């Protein structure tokens, strides 16, 4: 009889600490449980506070995506106030949200994901020394450049919004500031500097050349075309990731959700897919089947989460967040609830965005090999190639504007939702206000979608499912599990450790 061994993989936090427990038979993962191990109680801190206070409290949920939290809170309050923000403010809010995503995508890739390639487990790999030279923490060339360039590009957020992280410049009606032409010119220069770095060092080609890569075979041809492309960070990623079999890891459920994000400002020259009102369209993909997105189909299941049971899964307008630690009862295992779309678990993030916006390269890659960790991380590395030209246009259009705020009366009563995409995907705030005070606040973070525990039908969450079937080369250093979970961009930090019930083995590994 096969011996099942249990391992615990602890994932550090930003939006919540995570721990994943896996069952292993003959070196293959046969089951997985994803467990949020930190409770911070944000939703209940907001109850009874003035409506606008959400703009100050919610960015503090996450140090790396505070702009996305601010945008979601602001959009929910705007719906309650029934106000349209000033068009020039919409342009700038979009640009600032996208700037945060550039930062996050690059830091995640080069400070969190790729350092795994410099793990000693690959010390016999022919590209190992090169991986160390590029990704060694605080020393590697790509790591140092990423720190420098992401720092610079975030100055765009500070010029318009005062600081990054944790500002509250998006308010119902627009933004608080009146940026000068010179402020906006500075933003354009900073973006153009970032673009130069991204083209020269990350892609190894200009954005126009990259935009011609529309299929798996185009990608292969691109890689072999020039030394600058082969040797770029993307070129190295493609070579290294394929050589270690990353495309065979982390398949998952093949369900994807996007709430849609980045509203198209009035009069913009930017064009969207199928004339969508959002640059990132909304949608739900279930295998080959595509559906229109309807937020009413979202429900949170707490069958396996440490919250007080209140009947069937609830839509976030009617659900609550009442912590209920059961100790060792053994059923509940996470502080993360299980969000479901139409009863199904769904993955969110850059790959979901690529598929729902019908990006030909990613449609082709996924139809050939299915979703996997390789393609998931690839989507994160190249997402900004599609963002940068749009950001440039929007900054230039904002320079023509002079109104950045529409007056809003006191926000007194009503319900609203803010659905946006942060770097990690779909983020939603569902809010009810009465007598000027917050009565109800429910937040579903992207990581809640990706890291969700089982639901009432005992269906696993996305990365629980993605771990199943993974063959581990070295049980003492199960780096494959780190690759898979990290390809979902599990917040900022992933610390992976194993606890073995075979006491002769070392306790395991921790990867950051």
Partner 1 sequence: MAKTLFWLQCGGCGGDSMSMLNSESPDLPEFLEIFEVELLWHPSFSNRSLADYQLLLSQLCSGDRKLDFLCVEGSLIRGPGGTGMYDTLFGLPKKDLLGNLVSRADTVLAVGTCASFGGIGADGEVEAMGLQFHKSQKGGFLSETFKTKSGLPVINLPGCPCHCEAVKGVLAAIISGMEIPLNAHNMPLEYYGMTIHQGCTRNEYHEYRVEEHNFGERGCLFFHLGCHGPLVYGPCNKLLWNGRSSKTRVGVPCFGCTRPDFPQAYPFFRTRNIEGIPLELPDGVDRAHYLAYKGMAAAAAPQRLKTRKTWV
- 123-152 positions binding partner 1, by CB under 8 A: 136-139, 144, 147-148, 150-151
Q: Which stretch binds partner 1 (CB under 8 A): 76-84, 156-164, 210-218, 343-351?
A: 156-164
Q: Select the residue interacting with partner 1 from 155, 206, 364, 392 (CB under 8 A).
A: 155
Indicate whether 291 belongs to the interface with partner 1 (CB under 8 A): no
Residues 12-41 that bind partner 1 (CB under 8 A): 12-14, 17, 37-41
Residues 174-203 that bind partner 1 (CB under 8 A): 174-178, 180
CB of 125 to partner 1, least distance (A): 16
Give per-residue burial for 357-392: e unless 16+ CB within 10 Å, then b. Answer: bebebbebbbeeeebbbbbbbbbbbbbbbbbbebbe
Give the residue with the Cβ less far from partner 1, 106 or 382: 106
Give per-residue burial for 23-47: e unless 16+ CB within 10 Å, then b. Answer: bbeeeebbebbbbbbebeebbeebe
Give the residue with the Cβ less far from partner 1, 75 or 229: 75
Q: Which stretch binds partner 1 (CB under 8 A): 166-174, 196-204, 339-347, 351-359?
A: 166-174
Q: What is the DSSP letter of 212?
A: T
Phi, psi values for residue 499, rounded to 5°: -120, 115
- On whether the CB atoms of residues 302 and 309 are closer than 8 A, the answer is yes
Give the residue with the Cβ less far from partner 1, 21 or 340: 21
CB of 405 to partner 1, least distance (A): 3
Indicate whether 159 belongs to the interface with partner 1 (CB under 8 A): yes
Q: Which stretch binds partner 1 (CB under 8 A): 90-98, 167-175, 196-204, 267-275?
A: 167-175
CB of 22 to partner 1, least distance (A): 15
Residues whose CB is less than 8 angstroms from the CB of residue 28 and which lie 6 or more positions away in sequence, other chains included: 469, 470, 471, 472
Instruction: Kindly write out the interface string for residues 463-502 of this chain, putting x where it contacts partner 1 by CB under 8 A and - elsewhere.
Output: --------------x-------------xxx-xxxx----
Indicate whether 166 belongs to the interface with partner 1 (CB under 8 A): yes
Residues in the chain, overall count: 512
- On whether the CB atoms of residues 265 and 433 are closer than 8 A, the answer is no
Residues 220-259 that bind partner 1 (CB under 8 A): none
Give the residue with the Cβ less far from partner 1, 148 or 501: 148
Parallel/antiparallel/unpaired status of strands 261-263 and 278-280: antiparallel
What's the rounded Cα separation, in Å, for the pair 78 and 84?
7
Give the residue with the Cβ less far from partner 1, 157 or 427: 157
What's the rounded Cα separation, in Å, for the pair 328 and 332?
9
Instruction: Kindly write out the interface string for residues 366-405 of this chain, putting x where it contacts partner 1 by CB under 8 A and - elsewhere.
Output: --------------------------------------xx
Radius of gyration of the chain (CA): 22
Indicate whether 47 belongs to the interface with partner 1 (CB under 8 A): no
Q: Select the residue interacting with partner 1 from 33, 76, 161, 256 (CB under 8 A).
A: 161
What's the rounded Cα separation, in Å, for the pair 197 and 190?
11
Indicate whether 154 belongs to the interface with partner 1 (CB under 8 A): yes
Dihedral, CA of residue 182, residue 185, residue 187 and residue 191, to nearest 10: -160
Give the residue with the Cβ less far from partner 1, 257 or 494: 494
Residues whose CB is less than 8 angstroms from the CB of residue 303 and which lie 6 or more positions away in sequence, other chains included: 309, 331, 332, 338, 454, 455, 456
Give the residue with the Cβ less far from partner 1, 211 or 476: 476
Indicate whether 331 belongs to the interface with partner 1 (CB under 8 A): no
Indicate whether 168 belongs to the interface with partner 1 (CB under 8 A): yes
Q: What is the DSSP letter of 118?
A: G
């Amino acid at each position: 009889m096969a011996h099942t061994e249990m391992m615990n993989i602890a994932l550090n936090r930003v939006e919540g600490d995570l721990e994943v427990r896996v069952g292993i038979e003959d070196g293959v993962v046969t089951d997985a449980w994803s467990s949020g191990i930190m409770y911070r109680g944000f939703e209940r801190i907001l109850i009874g506070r003035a409506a606008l206070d959400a703009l100050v409290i919610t960015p503090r949920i996450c140090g790396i995506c505070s702009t996305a939290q601010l945008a979601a809170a602001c959009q929910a309050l705007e719906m309650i106030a029934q106000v349209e923000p000033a068009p020039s403010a919409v342009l700038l809010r979009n640009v600032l949200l996208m700037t945060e995503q550039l930062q996050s995508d690059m830091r995640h890739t080069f400070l969190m994901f790729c350092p795994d390639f410099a793990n000693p487990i690959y010390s016999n790999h022919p590209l190992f020394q090169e991986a160390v030279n590029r990704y060694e923490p605080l020393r590697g060339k790509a790591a140092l450049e990423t720190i420098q360039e992401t720092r610079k590009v975030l100055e765009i957020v500070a010029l318009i919004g005062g600081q990054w992280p944790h500002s509250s410049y998006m308010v119902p009606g627009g933004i608080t500031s009146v940026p000068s032409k010179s402020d906006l010119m500075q933003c354009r220069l900073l973006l153009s500097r970032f673009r130069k770095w991204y083209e020269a060092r990350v892609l190894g080609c200009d954005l126009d050349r990259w935009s011609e890569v529309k299929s798996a075979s185009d990608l292969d041809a691109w890689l072999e075309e020039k030394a600058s492309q082969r040797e770029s960070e993307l070129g190295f990623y493609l070579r290294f990731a394929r050589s270690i079999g990353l495309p065979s890891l982390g398949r998952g459920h093949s369900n994807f959700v996007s709430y849609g994000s980045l509203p198209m400002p009035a009069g913009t020259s930017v064009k969207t897919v199928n004339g969508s009102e959002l640059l990132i369209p909304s949608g739900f993909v279930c295998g080959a089947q595509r559906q229109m997105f309807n937020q009413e189909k979202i429900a949170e299941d707490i069958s396996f989460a440490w919250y007080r049971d209140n009947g069937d899964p609830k839509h976030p307008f009617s659900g609550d967040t009442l912590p209920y630690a059961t100790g060792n009862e053994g059923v509940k295992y996470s502080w993360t609830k299980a969000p479901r779309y139409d009863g199904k678990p769904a993955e969110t993030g850059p790959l979901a965005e690529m598929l729902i916006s019908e990006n030909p390269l990613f449609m082709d890659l996924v139809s050939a090999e299915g979703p996997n960790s390789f393609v998931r991380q690839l989507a994160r590395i190249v997402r900004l190639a599609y963002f940068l030209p749009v950001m440039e246009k929007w900054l230039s259009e904002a320079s023509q504007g002079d109104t950045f705020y529409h007056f809003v009366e006191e926000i007194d009563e009503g319900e609203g939702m803010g659905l946006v995409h942060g770097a990690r995907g779909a983020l939603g705030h569902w809010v009810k206000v009465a007598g000027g005070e917050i009565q109800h606040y429910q937040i579903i973070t992207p990581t809640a979608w990706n890291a969700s525990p089982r639901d009432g039908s005992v269906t696993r969450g996305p990365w629980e499912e993605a771990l199943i079937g993974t063959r581990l080369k070295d049980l003492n250093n199960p780096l494959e599990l780190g690759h898979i979970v990290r390809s979902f961009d599990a917040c900022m930090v992933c610390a992976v450790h194993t606890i073995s019930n075979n006491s002769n083995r070392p306790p395991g590994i921790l990867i950051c």
